[in-house]
Chains A and B, each alone.
Chain A
């Protein structure tokens, strides 16, 4: 541990003069069962520099940070710190080597004070008793020195998320970490809090630390980082040793610049009258009332980064969450009520994002999962289920959508993800009067072949006049399947683009938060 902490000045001088970087990733590769997450990642970061990592959701940035933090062990390549090849089996080893990773999900003890969180494991004690007063004084002085205005005796749970993040960064500083990685640090910070964070980052940089900065906000990256690496699909696509040399547009192109082949089987359809109209929808997670409409036979893709509010909006439309205001009309008629049942009875249905948690009922059969909603159409004498109709429905859809199952009585949890998704689609196809389908992340966790089958089901439904809203975080999917793309960012709709005019650049620039951080970049 001591060997990793030479005095900052000496380390910096040596790395400058010999041009050996303090931190180096060398041909790192990581494979998960069935998926390659990273391949051949190489880049270096010098002491006293801030290095940005850029890329779409799922490009592999977080995986690389987990390798640095000792959570994953890479199958290929080497991690070189201060000239030594290191391999961490546990996060403890990475911490001892002077690495601090500040994740998006913070790790702290909510019921302990700021002081206790900062000194956890190193509380000063006398004869085995913690001397609280001395510790508070010590921490208070250190926080003041850093310019962080947080009382050392405040409980973590009483702090704002921004302040908690600050505590987390202070923890890294207190530990005298040499390498500090920040994963989307400003996503939940206010403007002032962000300013303090930026100042801290610059101070750490001046002290000769190695900083890695991950953010979707390009303005911040331009304002803070000296160099940057762009990731796409687990590969390094570009390395910028001097970030000052390039423009924002070039960076965005690099982040997404992948050719979209028409593997989706899109064919133009005739579109009918407006089927779904959503007006002034507002709720807790939306920063602005949302309005949009979808025609019969039209597929509208909703794109946005994680946390943009797309799923939340759809939950409101479906009636799964309480609306503050807003109206949903189907074929010009407002829904009868605000509940899920009212939506289904008006022909508005919803396939949720998390199939396992909110879609399937794992311990029940395929047939039960298909018939759960539509059985009300053929129950007998109000109470009794009609077994033969249910069996016919289940068998029909198993054949129609080619659901791979030994039989309709098989428990759904034994089916693959793609087949489970088909069962849930069958559930709604079996509705007698289906008018609007909202589907959230239709192909998440589904293998490539089954993806195309899901797309073709969506296209067939659209061809029959169903209005489809497809929420997706996969940009190629949104562009390849949709007739129109609606983009959301930070809880509001930021733009709308027709097929043909939508491309990766303009969709992504609508999805990236801007404006708020622009003045900061100028400063």
Chain B
């Protein structure tokens, strides 16, 4: 017995103990990002300037916020396609409520609640009624987008109360407010993932739902919370977007969900659940933003940008697959 049982951990120990290689492997993503960043800094004019850096951060701020909650969603083996629609709907709703009541606080609160409600419905249908997450959120994606169009009559809803624009357009210490909010999200959700029972349960549920259930984890409740929080944060992103563009636009944030999922997957979040790190997600978001930014600076045709983005995503997933295979052997 002793020989056989010692064998298994011993073998893997030997494998994982190859010093520098392992170190490189673990931080490969960050290294790739740094290399990319350095390369672009030297080769692309205006890339490494304060203004451009702030612009870059601002451009990924909405993706960054929602990527935090999408990380939880993917880590629990789920999926959410409805967030793009939620962003648009929350923006429209916020603008309309502010115009009606004149109160910014009411508008923001109603939007956040509506986002949470959409997430809650997603969560209940997926966790309690056991409908496939892809189908459920595909359906709510359509429905919520429809609600945004119906509510606004298909037109952008301008906000008359200009105080609302300060939410997304204030500079604090030289950095725009949406970037600050995104940083706060990274910190809060990073702590949630690593230090709270909720975060640990999320990874356990994604790793093996039935074992988690038998170990006493409330799998259904955890999944519902994940979607609920996701909906609320998507609404927050929608409010900030509306504030930045001074109106609620029902056709905004199309394809947003795919950008968010791409960023997470680039950041090493496993679609099979159970594996996610906040540092990975931050790097994933930054890679997305950096590539986009550099392509804009280089004046690359928008049509070709699609190709580049898709190619990067596919490459990242393939590298990840190879790493996984190695680990499983």
Cα distance A352–B211 when bound, in Å? 9
Asked whether, in the complex, the Cβ of A416 is within 8 Å of the Cβ of B274, the reply is no
Contacting pair A363 B274 (CB below 8 A): yes
Count how many pairs of residues, one from A and one from B, have CB atoms less than 8 Å apart in the complex: 101
Contact partner of A364 (CB less than 8 A), chosen from B4, B196, B204, is: B204
Distance from B323 Cβ to chain A, minimum over Cβ atoms (Å) = 13
Given A358-B214, A414-B8, A448-B1, verify A385-B195 contact (CB < 8 Å): yes
- Across the interface, which residues of A come within 8 angstroms of B200, CB to CB? 368, 372, 375, 385
Contact of B6 with A404 in the complex, beta carbons under 8 Å: yes
For this complex, into which size category does the number of interface residues on chain A fall? Answer: 35 or more
A340-B216, A341-B218, A404-B9 known; A368-B204 Cβ under 8 A: yes
The dominant DSSP class at the B interface is helix
Q: A360-B208, A384-B196, A415-B9 are in contact. Are A427 and B215 (CB under 8 A)?
A: yes
- C-beta contact mask, B114-134 vs A, less than 8 Å → 1, else 0? 000000000000000000000
Q: Is A333 an interface residue, CB under 8 A from the partner?
A: no
Say yes or no: A416 contacts B204, CB within 8 Å: no
- By size class, the interface of chain B is 20 to 34
- Contact check, B197 vs A376: say whether CB atoms are below 8 A apart: yes
B207 touching A373, Cβ below 8 Å: no
Whether A359 sits at the interface, judged by CB under 8 Å, is yes
Instruction: Given A358-B211, A363-B274, check contact A404 B5 (CB 8 Å).
Output: yes
Interface string of B197-215 (1 = CB under 8 A from A): 1101001100110111111
A384 and B213 contact, CB distance less than 8 A:
no
Q: How close is A34's CB to chain B, nearest CB, in angstroms?
A: 8
B2 sits at the interface (CB 8 A)? yes
Of the candidates B5, B208, B213, the one whose C-beta lies within 8 Å of that of A320 is B213
- Whether A320 touches B207, Cβ cut-off 8 Å, given contacts A363-B275, A385-B196, A414-B8, is no
Q: Are A384 and B212 in contact (CB under 8 A)?
A: no
| Interface residue A299 (Cβ < 8 Å from any Cβ of B) | no
Residue of B nearest to A340 (CB): B216
Which listed residue (A318, A410, A416) contacts B5, Cβ 8 A? A416
User: Which chain B positions have C-beta within 8 A of A385?
Assistant: 195-197, 200
- Pair A357/B12 contact, Cβ less than 8 Å: no
Q: How far is the CA of A140 from the CA of B211 in the complex (A)?
A: 49
A419 at the interface (CB under 8 A from B): yes
- Whether A361 contacts B208 in the complex (CB less than 8 A), given A373-B215, A385-B200, comes out as yes
* Binary flags per residue of B1-40, CB closer than 8 Å to A gives 1, else 0: 1101111111011000000000000000000000000000
For the complex, is A383 an interface residue (Cβ under 8 Å from B)? yes
List the A side residues contacting B1 at CB < 8 Å.
418, 447-450
Let me know if A419 and B5 touch, CB within 8 A: yes
**Cβ of A344 under 8 Å from chain B:** yes
* CB-CB nearest in chain B for A406: B13
| A372 with B215: CB separation less than 8 A | yes
Q: Which residues from A are CB-within-8-Å of B217?
A: 372-373
> Contacts A383-B196, A406-B9; is A416 near B4 (CB within 8 Å)?
yes
What is the bound-complex CA distance between A514 and B217, given in angstroms? 42
Please report B residues at the A interface, Cβ cutoff 8 Å: 1-2, 4-10, 12-13, 195-198, 200, 203-204, 207-208, 210-218, 274-275
Q: Which residues of A come within 8 Å of B, CB atoms?
A: 318, 320, 340-341, 344, 350, 352, 357-364, 368, 372-373, 375-376, 379, 383-385, 387, 404-406, 410, 414-416, 418-419, 427, 447-450
A-B contact pairs, 17 of them (CB 8 A): A358-B211, A363-B208, A364-B274, A372-B216, A375-B200, A383-B198, A385-B195, A404-B6, A405-B9, A406-B10, A416-B4, A416-B5, A418-B1, A418-B5, A447-B5, A448-B1, A449-B5
